[in-house]
Amino acid sequence: MAQRPMREVILDEATELFARFGYGGTSLNHIAAGVGIKRPSLLHHFPSKDALYGEVFERMLSDWLERVEATMKSPGRGWERFSAVLVSGFELFCENPSYVRLMRREAIEGGERLGIDLVGVVAPFFEAAVNWLEEEVVAGHFRKVDARQVLVTAYATLLGYVSDAPFLNGLLVDDALAPEMLLARRDHLLDMFRRTLVADPDPSLTSLGA
Partner DNA sequence: ATCTCTACCTACTGGTTGGTAGGTAGGTAT
Partner DNA sequence: ATACCTACCTACCAACCAGTAGGTAGAGAT
- Which residues are near a second copy by CB under 8 A? 20-26, 101, 104-111, 118-120, 122-123, 126, 145-146, 148-150, 152-153, 155-157, 159-161, 163-164, 166-168, 170-172, 184-185, 188-189, 191-192, 195-196, 201
Nearest residue (CB) to a second copy, 45 versus 153? 153
User: Residue 195, interface with DNA (CB under 7 A)?
Assistant: no
Crossing angle between the packed helical segments 6-21 and 49-72, to the nearest 10 degrees: 90
Of the candidates 125, 146, 128, the residue with the CA atom closest to the CA atom of residue 137: 146
4 binds DNA (CB under 7 A): no
Contacts of 205-210 with CB under 8 Å at 24 or more apart are 206/79, 208/83, 208/87
Instruction: Return the range that interacts with DNA (CB under 7 A); candidates 46-54, 130-138, 144-152, 182-190.
Output: 46-54
Give the nearer residue to DNA in terms of CB position, either 34 or 78.
34
The partner in contact with residue 168, picked from DNA, a second copy, none with C-beta cut-offs of 5 to 8 angstroms by kind, is a second copy
**Rounded Cα–Cα distance for residues 130 and 85 (Å):** 14
Q: Which is nearer to DNA, 47 or 115 (CB)?
A: 47
Residue 48 sits in the site that holds DNA (CB under 7 A): yes
Which has the closest alpha carbon to 53: 11, 112, 6, 104?
11
Nearest in space to 153 (alpha carbons), one of 129, 117, 119, 177: 129
Instruction: Give the H/E segment covering residue 126.
Output: helix 118-138
- Nearest approach, Cβ of 5 to DNA (angstroms)? 7
Residues 6+ apart with CB under 8 A from 3: none
Least spacing, CB of residue 130 vs a second copy, in Å: 10
Least distance between a second copy and beta carbon 34 (Å): 16
